[in-house]
Amino acid sequence: MKLTSKIFNSHPSSDGDFFLGMKRILGFKPKSLEIYKTAFLHRSMNKKDNEGNPVNYERLEFLGDSMLGTIISKHLYNEVPEGDEGYLTKMRSKVVSRKHLNELGKDLGLLKYVESRIPKAHFGDNIHGNVFEALVGAIYLDRGYNYCEKFINERVIEPYVDIEQLEGKVISYKSLVIEWCQKEKKPFNYNVYEDTGKDELKHFAVKLTIGDRMLAKARATSKKKAEEKASKRAYFALQSRIDNK
């Protein structure tokens, strides 16, 4: 796919500002500015290249996700020689969790560079992580693996990856609770139903029952979030029993 400046119709002055912004974030000079512009181009802009292919950050996001996983895997492989496959996989999941990637995107202030017809205030948190992954993909295409690894080391691994802290970090309370229930052969049920409250946004409520006891309740704007909130409350109610297993 060829990218040309005709796609963007950008002005030299804005190019200069964008170049300086990218240089500050990356820690080195970008070669192809157009690749980085694509990393911040939302699909709502409906841009296409000369062959009529859509141009937005989603393909770069796919590439960046793979590069990020590879480089984090290499780091963990080298740093934790005693870790087996299951341990390394779990640790990598903690580093590249959606929540963590969203935090990285926010810390770098990436949202200010996003081109979109959708008001930025209307985006959810995931836009930050999506664009961060797209940026990693752009670095790989622009400067290759070594620069990509350098960026991830400086922006992700050195400031955020602490093996001991990660070992104690919970990715999903729901997974933790379900795993414990299965080990203890305790029946469990997430009873999720639409909340008919007066909020403008539709909410879902959940009651988590373990055995014959209703252990936790929660409500949120999605079923997944409601289940996770209820699971977290259940975990802390059962923490001494779960952690001793």
**pTM: predicted TM-score of the whole model, two decimal places:** 0.67
- 131 neighbors 137 (Cβ within 8 angstroms): no
**Closest to 98 (Cα-Cα) out of 205, 207, 225, 226:** 225
> The tokens of 228 are what?
């996770």
Q: Does the annotation list 61 as a binding residue?
A: yes
Which fold does the domain 173-243 belong to in CATH?
Answer: Double Stranded RNA Binding Domain (3.30.160)
130 vs 111: CA distance, rounded Å: 10
Q: DSSP secondary-structure letter at 205?
A: E
65 labelled catalytic: yes
Secondary-structure class of domain 5-167 per CATH: mainly alpha
Predicted confidence pLDDT, tens digits, the chain (245 residues): 444 444 444 444 568 899 999 999 999 999 999 999 999 999 999 999 999 999 999 999 999 999 999 999 999 999 888 888 888 888 898 888 888 899 999 999 999 999 999 998 889 899 999 999 999 999 999 999 999 999 999 988 988 887 777 776 666 788 888 888 898 899 999 998 877 666 667 788 999 999 889 989 998 888 888 898 998 898 888 877 776 65
Domain boundaries defined on the chain: 5-167, 173-243
> The tokens of 142 are what?
């622009």
> The tokens of 125 are what?
């948190």
Q: DSSP secondary-structure letter at 215?
A: E
Within 8 A by CB and 6+ apart from 238, the residues are 177, 180, 210, 215
Q: Catalytic residue among 17, 51, 65, 125, which?
A: 65
58 labelled catalytic: no
User: Tokens 């052969």 — which residue?
Assistant: 185
pLDDT in tens, 46-93: 999 999 999 999 999 999 999 999 999 999 999 888 888 888 888 898
**Closest to 33 (Cα-Cα) out of 11, 15, 13, 45:** 15
Q: Catalytic residue among 34, 133, 227, 228, which?
A: 133
- 82 neighbors 91 (Cβ within 8 angstroms): no
